[in-house]
Amino acid sequence: MMLALVGATHRTVPLALRERLAFTAEQAADALARFRDRFPGREGVLLSTCNRVEFYAAGEAEVAAPPVEELLSFLAECRGLEAAALAPVLSREHDEAVVRHLFSVAAGLDSMVLGEPQILSQVKQAWTIAQDNRTAGPLTAGMFQAALRTAKRVATETALGRERVSIPSVAVAEFASSVFERFDDKRILLIGAGKMAAETLRYLRAAGGRDVVIVNRTASRADDLAARLGAKPASFDELERELAAADLVVSTTGSSEPVVSLDLFDRAEAHREGRPLVVLDLAVPRDFDPRVGERPGVWLSCVDDLAEACDANRRSRQRELPRALAIVDEETSRFMGDMHHRSTAPVIEQLRAGWSETGEAELERLFRRLPHLDDRDRDEIRQSFDRYAAKMLHPPLASLRSESHAGPPHGLLDALKRLFNLKD
């Protein structure tokens, strides 16, 4: 097995468990460092978003990818969970199924909102973290580069990429708009200053939102986003006051603990004078204590509440799905062919080395018998030998490449090893 995957997605794992499984960027880096020590010589990439946590592993020859059950136990250990609790809900894949899944994920075909573009940047970030922590390698490099190529093809060759439909857009269009008819007279509080926060703010601007305040633990990030998108930054210490003033709150932080506890909200609520409040908690783990949603006049929605709206979105875009899936299949076959051909490299190297060694020996024998040849004559003869060797090797090498695109060429490899007496 060269490739392995264990993963949890919004389709199979409830939000409460996904919250416990989720990794921040720092936690992902720590997990990859542990993976590097636990499985030396293997490659690993950890993808953690609000809707999925997936670990991709790869290895070759004697250092093959770890068995999926070992990966499952490792993932559970990293988050302080019992492997037995994860075993029934985590998916397990290997080799070609891993490739097809990653390509579908990168293209937004496995997202809660079909075709959402944000997942691609999250895939890129996961790959960057793996590179920074030295768990990336040639197999994962090829696979993730091919995933980006697949996503680009789906975006440009189908209508899935024509409209930027994402979780923030659905949250604003389906949930916030169901409570508020207009946003130009509403005070909007944005907690968090990452990519999802920026995207949400753009949709709110398009919907008419003007009075926007951004709060973030790192003040400089709130300042930067506010300057870029025409909002007002506020200190994180002012969160209680801003909660009291807000009509709509969108929270998108990467905090591992609730940002708005029930006590904090109760203190803010005492100054709200009964005004209605819409909260779009788009973070995993959740930023708001779920009990906040039980307060009168509060509409609290989390990512799983978007499922029905996202399903409706998916149905309306289904007609583009067959073409997108065909692209994924094409790119999967292309990558698997390249990967199988990669496995033939040692045999090809031995074939070429054997022919080269034999050719050099024969040339030296010929040159000793023909001492009158000058350098120009010798070079001409040597080039003829090289061309002859290349032509003789071309048919078996071409057959290897052709067989590789149909699957692992084990039969042909064994035959070539026996015919040319090649060693493992």
How far is residue 64's CA from residue 57's CA, in Å, rounded to a whole number? 9
Q: Are residues 238 and 298 in the same domain?
A: yes
Which of 34, 115, 15, 116 is CA-nearest to residue 75? 34
For residues 244 and 51, which has the higher predicted lDDT (pLDDT)? 244
Number of domains in the chain: 3
Q: Quick one: average pLDDT of 381-400?
A: 76
Residue-wise pLDDT tens digits, 158-168: 887 665 567 88
Q: Are residues 243 and 352 in the same domain?
A: no
The two three-digit tokens of residue 313, written as one number: 């979105």
How far is residue 414's CA from residue 393's CA, in Å, rounded to a whole number? 16
Q: Among residues 143, 164, 185, which one ends one of the domains?
A: 164
How far is residue 66's CA from residue 59's CA, in Å, rounded to a whole number? 8
Q: What's the pTM?
A: 0.67
Residue-wise pLDDT tens digits, 275-302: 999 999 999 899 999 999 999 999 999 9
Domain that holds residue 380: 341-419
Q: Quick one: average pLDDT of 396-422?
A: 62
Q: Quick one: average pLDDT of 399-415?
A: 61
How far is residue 227's CA from residue 217's CA, in Å, rounded to a whole number? 17
Across 62-66, 245-249, 296-300, least confident range: 62-66
Residue-wise pLDDT tens digits, 95-146: 999 999 999 999 999 988 777 777 888 999 999 999 999 999 999 999 999 9
Average pLDDT of the chain is 86
Active site residues: 50
What CATH number does the domain containing 261 carry? 3.40.50.720
Q: Are residues 151 and 241 in the same domain?
A: no
Q: Are residues 184 and 119 in the same domain?
A: no
Residue-wise pLDDT tens digits, 305-350: 877 777 776 677 778 889 999 999 999 988 988 776 666 666 667 6
Q: What is the pLDDT of residue 1?
A: 57
Q: Among residues 164, 195, 218, which one ends one of the domains?
A: 164
